[in-house]
Structure 1
Amino acid sequence: MKAPFVYGRKVGREHFADREEEVERLKIAIISGQNVIIYSPRRYGKSSLVGIALEELGEKVYPIEVDCSGVLTKKELAERISSAAIRTWKGRIEEFLRKLFKTTTPRITIGKRLSVEFVVGEENTAFEEALKLPKRLAEITGKRVVVVFDEFQEVSNLGKEVLPKMRAEFQKHKEVTYVFVGSKQGMMREIFQSPSSPFYNFGMHMILKRIQEEKFKPFIENKFKESGFEVDDELMDSVLRITKGHPHYTQMLCYRLWLNALLSKRGSISEEDLEKALEEILNETAEFFEEMWDSLTINQRRLLVAIARNESDLYSRDFLNRYGFERASTVQAALRALKEKELIVRENGRYLIENPLFELWILKVSEG
């Protein structure tokens, strides 16, 4: 049995809500050689978006997908780039090594998947060789090479010379398209929008936001119908009012509704089912939310409560008095801290709590 709603992992078109325009724009950008910078908060579907675009482009491109999460050294980054490149290679491994590595010969390890490992002490040479790989692959295969760096902001922690070297090499690669994906928006903006950064103006920016209700409702309705369940407009409105169009949490809540309906062997889903699903999820996440809440200062908590209540003018004298802030600068400091903790996001001119379920929990706590 296939679940109609999927969350927590990369998905294909079947389980991907909306984003049709973004997929097409990305495909055109890749084929035309336009570098792209994609950023949004976590769990907005960035990796799935890129994966769908690459899958639909198929044999037209040579994809190299590099996960930068947790990368600690230049050597490790070089190994990840090289390993990603070799996994798409369809020829002999010996040929890959001979044609692509000119000044160093890495070791190939075979585990769950092929990996490249460089000799300790060759960090600089390995890094320079890895950066040249995409251009060499384009020349050898005759295809447009697409290099995707997921969580690219992590690279900025590897030393001040790393980004300049990458930019200096990448700008020579005419047959390579680079796609930079990141979830820490402040760091991504610093890398790609700061005039002093080597990657300033290096590509087209694509910012993913939450999915609009009119786009999400047909997706939800169709998924429930395909699995044999009827849902009315009011229920879908309630779901989206709770999740505020957040892709991950909308799919999570709908999955729980579907699961409970399946177990109860009923053909329809009611508001009572929604209340039950919410209660279950909040009970499961309560300990995590409590730990998060306990780690915050009193001013950060006050501000989260205000944002959860849809307060808008966060610097007015009335707001400061009602929420116990002495001055506007205290609000600014709390906002900055909450953004750094990735607990709030700014969309369409207003702040939102990143996790809409945490928002519900906050409202319950604040009401006593």
Structure 2
Amino acid sequence: MQREKNPFKFGKIVTGNNFCNRKQELKEVKQYISDGYSVWLYSPRRYGKSSLIKKAFSELENIKLVYLDLYNISSIDDFCRKYSSMLASELFDWTDDIKVLTKKMTRYFQNLYPKISFDETGSPSFSLEAKQISSMTDIEKILNIPGTISKEKKQQICIAFDEFQEIERIDPFMINWMRSAFQTQDNVSYIFLGSKQSLMRNIFSSTNSPFYEFAIKMDIKPISYNDLFGFIKSKFVEQEMHVSDKTIDGILQVSECHPHFTQYFASVVFNCIRDGENQEADNFRELWLNKIINGQSVIFQNIFDQLSNNQRRVFILLAILDEKDELFSEKTRAKYKLPASSSINTILKALIKKDLIHKADKSYKINNPVFKAWLKQIK
């Protein structure tokens, strides 16, 4: 008998029927791109930003689209090479005769020695043979290529930079060069995706930043409970497996409708049910949740050990407080022996900087619901 296949996908960009809802955000971002507006978009890690942009790109026509993830880029030289490679891949016509294509590349990447190579299957690839790319002239030349191509070909272009907050790690002055180049490109728009709240706000909301008011802020929020409920149910139905409403509700209560963790938790629950666990048992939620927590508890303990005593207390408090409880209230501070409000603010900023929490409207949320569940266990 064929074993049921786990239908839940997480930890990578999701496409097709693994992409759940986001209809409003998808419509919104596609409209911004079509209208030629630049957008910056923050959400905690694994909220589906990259999947959303990839989905939007797949549905847009007559616009040249480029996507570059900055997370693993190590230096300006590395950025220039990888960005140039993406520009070459997406903005040039690779059906051209090789001599024509090489001539075009040489013109746009002047003095950077562009090279077109072919692997054993005949597939082409692009690289720059320049020894080191670090001068302002060369960097600006690369940054200006989309604008030049757009103007010459009368072609609308949109470029998405994922994990854009990493640009300051790559080189703090890079955003100055970017702003200088980008602001002159009439038919090119940019999407800036980021997962570190404080860094993204500094880049786009600080009056001292070159990118201040350069792009429209777009919010991405958790997918609705009802949409995720139906999504989980449908995935079990596809595999002809029963899942109770109570079980799905338990998944969504713990995941707080976080897209990545919802799929992650659902996959663990699927495995438990497939392996014969009784989902009607009183301890079923505890069983599957402990499977997840136990696999990460050492990591959580190491992070927790590096926090100050006051940071630990506030962090735990964020895990156990009800939505209606006010963190800064006199009652809460007295009950949990918290420091003054000004000190709590400092602690919250530190936890945000450590990428452990984020501010959502007027409240503060723990980024990782598994970490939150672990904190509840050790309180």
TM-based fold match above 0.5: yes
Offset at 1:204? 1.7
In structure 1, the residue matched to 2:285 is 274
In structure 2, the residue matched to 1:104 is 112
Does the CA-based 8 Å contact 1:209-1:347 persist in structure 2?
A: no
Cα distance in 2 for residues equivalent to 1:357 and 1:46: 20
Does the CA-based 8 Å contact 2:197-2:358 persist in structure 1?
A: no
Instruction: State which drifts further: 160-169 or 93-102.
Output: 93-102
Cα distance in 2 for residues equivalent to 1:334 and 1:113: 52
SS at match of 2:275: helix
State how 1:68-107 maps to structure 2 within 5 Å.
68-88=70-90, 89-91=92-94, 92=98, 93-107=101-115
Offset at 1:104? 3.2
Offset at 1:73? 3.0
Tell whether 2:313 aligns with 1:302: yes
CA 1:338–1:3: 2 relative to 1, 3 Å: same
Offset at 1:141? 5.0
State how 1:190-229 maps to structure 2 within 5 Å.
190-229=202-241
Gaps of 5+ in 2: none
Equivalent residue pairs, number: 363
Give 1:33's aligned amino acid: G
- 1:130-173 CA-to-partner distances (Å, cap 9, x unmatched) read 10121233245543211111111111234454222211211121
CA 1:244–1:140: 2 relative to 1, 3 Å: same
- 1:230-255 CA-to-partner distances (Å, cap 9, x unmatched) read 22322222211111111111110001
Tell whether 2:356 aligns with 1:348: no
SS at match of 1:254: helix
In structure 2, the residue matched to 1:37 is 40
Cα distance in 2 for residues equivalent to 1:175 and 1:103: 26
CA 1:173–1:254: 2 relative to 1, 3 Å: same
State how 1:7-18 maps to structure 2 within 5 Å.
7-18=10-21
Cα distance in 2 for residues equivalent to 1:122 and 1:182: 25
In structure 1, the residue matched to 2:200 is 188
Give 1:317's aligned amino acid: E
SS at match of 1:9: coil
Does the CA-based 8 Å contact 1:103-1:129 persist in structure 2?
A: no
From 262, 265, 269, the counterpart of 2:274: 262
Indicate the structure with greater helix content.
1
Does the CA-based 8 Å contact 1:86-1:114 persist in structure 2?
A: no
Does the CA-based 8 Å contact 1:257-1:273 persist in structure 2?
A: no
Offset at 1:349? 2.0
Tell whether 2:6 aligns with 1:3: yes
In structure 2, the residue matched to 1:323 is 336
In structure 1, the residue matched to 2:53 is 50
CA 1:122–1:306: 2 relative to 1, 3 Å: closer
Does the CA-based 8 Å contact 1:77-1:127 persist in structure 2?
A: no
Cα distance in 1 for residues equivalent to 2:102 and 2:68: 22
- 1:87-120 CA-to-partner distances (Å, cap 9, x unmatched) read 2244245144134223432345778983533523
Cα distance in 1 for residues equivalent to 2:173 and 2:297: 43
Does the CA-based 8 Å contact 1:230-1:269 persist in structure 2?
A: no
TM-score of the aligned structures, taking structure 2 as reference length: 0.88
Offset at 1:275? 3.1
Tell whether 2:184 aligns with 1:172: yes
CA 1:225–1:274: 2 relative to 1, 3 Å: farther
State how 1:109-148 maps to structure 2 within 5 Å.
114-124=125-135, 125-139=137-151, 141-148=153-160
Instruction: State which drifts further: 120-129 or 188-197.
Output: 120-129
Cα distance in 2 for residues equivalent to 1:113 and 1:222: 41
Equivalent pairs: percent with the same residue?
30
TM-score of the aligned structures, taking structure 1 as reference length: 0.90
- 1:168-200 CA-to-partner distances (Å, cap 9, x unmatched) read 211121221211111111111111112222211
Cα distance in 2 for residues equivalent to 1:217 and 1:328: 38
Instruction: State which drifts further: 113-122 or 184-193.
Output: 113-122
